[in-house]
Amino acid sequence: MSRNKLIADIQEKRTCLCVGLDTDLAKIPTHLKGRPDAILEFNKAIIDATADCCVAYKINTAFYECLGAKGWDLMEATLAYIPKNIFTIADAKRGDIGNTSTMYAKAFFETLSFDAITVSPYMGSDSVKPFLEYTNKTTIVLALTSNAGSIDFEQLKTGDEFVYEKVLKTSKEWGTPDNMMYVVGATKASSLAQIRAIVPEHFLLIPGVGAQGGDIDEVLKYGGIPGQTGLLVNSSRQILYASSGEDFAEKARAEALKLLGKIS
pLDDT tens digit sequence for 171-194: 999 999 999 999 998 777 778 889
Asked if the model's pLDDT at residue 46 lies above 70, the reply is yes
Rounded to the nearest 10 degrees, what angle do helices 125-132 and 98-106 cross at?
A: 30
Region 145-168 average pLDDT: 90
Region 24-40 average pLDDT: 94
Every domain of the chain and the residues it spans: 3-263
- With contact defined as beta carbons under 8 Å apart, do 262 and 219 qualify? no
Residue 174 has a pLDDT of: 97
Catalytic residues: 93
CATH: 1.20.1420.30, 3.40.605.10, 3.20.20.70, 3.30.540.10. Which one for 3-263?
A: 3.20.20.70
| pLDDT tens, position by position, 84-95 | 999 999 999 999
Region 218-234 average pLDDT: 83
Residue 119 to residue 145: CA distance in whole angstroms:
12
The residues, ordered by sequence, that sit 6+ positions from 94 with a Cβ below 8 Å of its Cβ are 101, 104, 108, 117, 118, 119, 120
Lowest-confidence region among 129-133, 155-159, 176-180: 155-159
pLDDT band (50, 70, 90) for residue 214 = low
CA 235, 128, 161 angle in degrees (round to 5)? 75
- With contact defined as beta carbons under 8 Å apart, do 234 and 20 qualify? yes
CA distances from 52 to 9, 21, 55, 126, 216 (A): 11, 16, 8, 38, 20
The pTM (predicted TM-score) of the whole model is: 0.94
Rounded to a whole number of angstroms, the CA Rg of the chain reads: 18
